[in-house]
Structure 1
Amino acid sequence: MIYSGLPLLLQPYAKVGAEEGWGNVTWKAVAEYKFTDDAMAYASVATGFKSGGFTGSASTAATATTPFDPEKATSYEVGAKTELFDHRLRLNSSVFYTDYRDLQVTRFFQPAGSGFGQFITENAGKARIKGLEVEATARPVRGLEVGGAVSLLDAKYVKFTGTPSQNNAGSFDGNRLRQAPKFAPSAFASYDLTLDSGAALSVRGSWKHQSKSFYDADNNPITVIPGYSLFEGALAYTAPDGRTTLSLWGKNLADKAYRTHVFSQRDSRVAFALFGEPRTFGLSLDYRR
């Protein structure tokens, strides 16, 4: 079926061949200092490498045979791990910074002057990610455990001039990286109870949130994934022998409609989204010999 203004166009394909090779040596250095048996700090520097390659679903022979460059990264991290109040509270934190060179970016777009959209993988000259992560777990009374985590992320293309499209000159400097929400907190609580028979009951609830993120380098609003929160819960019974566990669980308890992926076409004039599972309940039986 053809919709007005959105024709489906197919191009003939041809066999082409090309080859290329890449190599690299990476390294990592870590320093740790233990203040006490329950507190330590660390710092690390590491390099990373991702081999170059060829666009897998190119629409022209020239694109299919033109390789993209390897991706290189240098990461810095400083953090601390602590156990406090007689091991009733665990607190971990870290700050990190990653500097990318030639970051590989795959996008679907319509090249300027072309009637066809195509996938292409190309290199962003420079990109960087910096952030903070904090994680805490507490056991205030026997059987009860509560905890949470928070992640703050600032991820941007510093220097990225890609292939121009119909609606964009190809400059993405300062735009946010794909799938990089700025804020991602989470929390959970669980309670375990041992019965007189030796059986065990446990109940657990959790919450996680993700702020909005983008799926295209141009940060077009049509490819945004709005922020969302998810709630999950589970109730489990373990038999006295410890081998059999029956669990009743529920996911997305608030029945939130949320996107998990967005595909843009026609130079970000049209987008298709995949959605996460709706409210779901299940019953699981586990047996260990």
Structure 2
Amino acid sequence: TSVEVGTRFNAQHVQGSIAAYRIDIKDAQLYQGDSVGYQSLRNVGDSRSTGVEFDLAWSLSRQWTLNASGFINRARFTRYVASSACSACGSNDVPFAPRHGLRLGLQGDLSSPVGNWRPQLNARYLGAQYFDTANTLRQAAYTLVDAALAWQVRPDTELAFYVHNLTDRAYRTYAFSGGPQLGNFAQVASGRTLGVTLSYAY
């Protein structure tokens, strides 16, 4: 059950929205189990998320636009029934639910005799989060920077170059416990990634 209230606004150079929400989940499902390869999806209890989110677009000029979006979120268990996995998790944070985040982006649209150029620069900040219901496996906050440059060769053809995770930031996307004997395991995100795309519309 989710309830959301907010507003949108549209001025000459600025557009955006802001909203507050509350989400109640009954019988939330998460993977449980200490043995590697033997985790199963189980109903662990009820949870409640409350927060605020916003987005903003500001036209700096005809060629440049600044975008910003973010959220503040509090997601906690209100009832926890998987006591065999964690006996004191009744008010813990819900896994994979950061408390806050922010994204800033700058986009351009520049015309030239050889076609349009569209540069982009984005910075994404994500707050700390837990990967388990016991709140022992924690990923600290991190910031990622992405960049791209698209060249519209013709009205129907676009060539784009991009770099994801420009600063080669190391962080985890998933983690779980293998039990007292095996320890903890984590999946590390991709490092700096470069690529090129070619798009053709017909």
Give the TM interval when normalised to the shorter protein: over 0.9
1:95 aligns with 2:15: no
The structure showing larger relative contact order (alpha-carbon pairs under 8 Å, at least 6 residues apart) is 2
The answer to whether 1:277 aligns with 2:171 is: no
Distance 1:283 1:140 in 2: 28
* 1:185 paired residue number: 102
* CA separation of 1:91 and 1:117: change in aligned 2, threshold 3 A: closer
Give the letter aligned to residue 217 of structure 1.
T
1:128 to 33, 42, 48: 48
Structure 1, unpaired ranges of 5+: 1-73, 111-115
Q: Which residue of 2 aligns with 1:26?
A: none
Tell me the TM-score normalised to structure 1 length. Answer: 0.65
Runs of 4+ in 1 over 6 A off after TM superposition: none
CA drift at 1:134: 1.0
1:108 to 33, 50, 65: 33
* Pairwise CA distance, 1:185: 0.5
Counterpart position of 1:263:
176
Instruction: Give the number of equivalent residue pairs.
Output: 202
- Going from structure 1 to structure 2, the CA distance change for 1:143 and 1:136 (only over 3 Å counts) comes to same
Identity %: 23
**Conserved? CA contact 2:28–2:46, under 8 Å:** yes
* Distance in 2 (alpha carbons) for counterparts of 1:95 and 1:237: 39
In structure 2, what is the Cα distance between the partners aligned to 1:123 and 1:157?
12
1:136–1:267: structure 2 CA closer, same or farther, 3 Å change rule?
A: farther
- Cα displacement string for residues 148-182 of structure 1 (whole angstroms, at most 9, x for unaligned residues): 111100000011031424xx4x2311100010000
Structure (1 or 2) with the larger CA radius of gyration: 1
> Unaligned 5+ residue runs, structure 2?
none
Give the deviation of 1:267 after TM superposition. 5.5
Contact 1:117 1:267 (C-alpha < 8 Å) held by counterparts: no
Tell me which amino acid in the other structure corresponds to 1:244: T
